[in-house]
């Protein structure tokens, strides 16, 4: 019998109701469920610590939106397991399985009749002046933006240690193919097929009409440094703030060999999801 961990965003409408009947559905399907601490509190179950929780699992089932799935990826750390996401959010590029197909999803986890897409993580190393480097990994993107000032940011960019340009902008996005349909897309970036070995460098609101998103080889090492006269910015990975970056601070990003397996039902079609989520209808003739 397979063991599946359950991670849920109880703020999403409908998740609590499904959680209450999920155990019975899973038992009938032939699955053993282990709940994370949020589920455990909602169901009055014993808590599971993070590392032992993931070490016990054959797969993870997330109930929420893409943010819930990304949160699960962050928590896995050294113990990655395949993830199947059920969408209770809005767009749901990563969690495309709808709530009414939960029984199919459970059956697919039992039989192994699922599609697997292996997605590469990106590593971000960062430090402020006088500090040592810290490291974090992300599935979607690394973003330098926001800050407490409305002033402009000045960011110096190097590719494989070679100077490329200095952006005057509101921030920068470094996105993976998985993250190309996220923040980068909203900032005018291209969509990359998931299997593409590439990264996107995308300036946010650049103060130059010639500044455009750049697609580069996935093995590229990007270095972004805040100029001495730049405003401070917030570094976020997969939408979660990581550090406040001050003038002189720098980050480096590059793809890793670490892979996350995203699971989908057998009839999943990436391009159909894009057509649906982005409302691609094409043009009619006549």
Contacts of 279 (CB under 8 A, 6+ apart): none
How far, in Å, CA of 158 to CA of 128, rounded?
17
Write the CA distances from 179 to 106, 165, 191, 217, 239, integer angstroms: 27, 23, 9, 15, 11
How far, in Å, CA of 70 to CA of 18, rounded?
20
Q: Spot the catalytic one: 36, 51, 58, 66.
A: 66
Q: Are 178 and 195 in contact (CB under 8 A)?
A: no
How far, in Å, CA of 165 to CA of 213, rounded?
13
How far, in Å, CA of 156 to CA of 152, rounded?
13
Q: Are 103 and 28 in contact (CB under 8 A)?
A: no
Q: Is 58 a catalytic residue?
A: no
Question: Residue 161, Cβ neighbours under 10 Å: how many?
Answer: 8
Give the active site residues: 66
């Amino acid at each position: 019998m397979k063991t599946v961990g359950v991670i849920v965003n109880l703020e999403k409408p409908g998740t609590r109701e499904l959680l209450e009947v999920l155990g019975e559905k899973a038992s009938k399907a032939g699955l053993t469920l282990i709940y994370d601490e949020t589920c455990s509190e909602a169901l009055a179950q014993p808590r599971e610590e993070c590392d032992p929780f993931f070490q016990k699992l054959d797969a993870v089932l997330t109930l929420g939106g893409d943010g819930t799935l990304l949160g699960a990826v962050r928590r896995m750390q050294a113990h990655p397991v395949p993830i199947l996401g059920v969408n209770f959010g809005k767009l749901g590029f990563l969690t495309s399985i709808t709530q009414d197909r939960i029984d199919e999803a459970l059956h697919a986890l039992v039989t192994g009749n699922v599609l697997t897409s292996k997605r590469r993580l990106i590593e971000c190393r960062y430090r402020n002046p006088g500090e040592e480097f810290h490291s974090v990994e992300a599935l979607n993107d690394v973003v330098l933006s926001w800050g407490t000032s409305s002033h402009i940011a000045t960011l110096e960019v190097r590719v494989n240690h070679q100077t490329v340009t200095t952006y005057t902008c509101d921030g920068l996005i470094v996105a993976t193919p998985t993250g190309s349909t996220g923040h980068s897309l909203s900032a005018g970036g291209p969509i990359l097929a998931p299997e593409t070995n590439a990264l996107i460098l995308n300036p946010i609101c650049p103060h130059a009409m010639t500044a455009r998103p750049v697609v580069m080889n996935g093995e590229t090492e990007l270095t972004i440094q805040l100029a001495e006269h730049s405003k401070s910015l917030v570094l976020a990975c997969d939408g979660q703030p990581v550090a406040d970056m001050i003038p002189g601070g720098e980050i480096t990003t590059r793809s890793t060999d670490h892979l996350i397996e995203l699971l989908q039902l057998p009839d999943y079609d990436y391009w159909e999801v894009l057509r649906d989520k982005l409302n691609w209808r094409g043009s009619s003739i006549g």
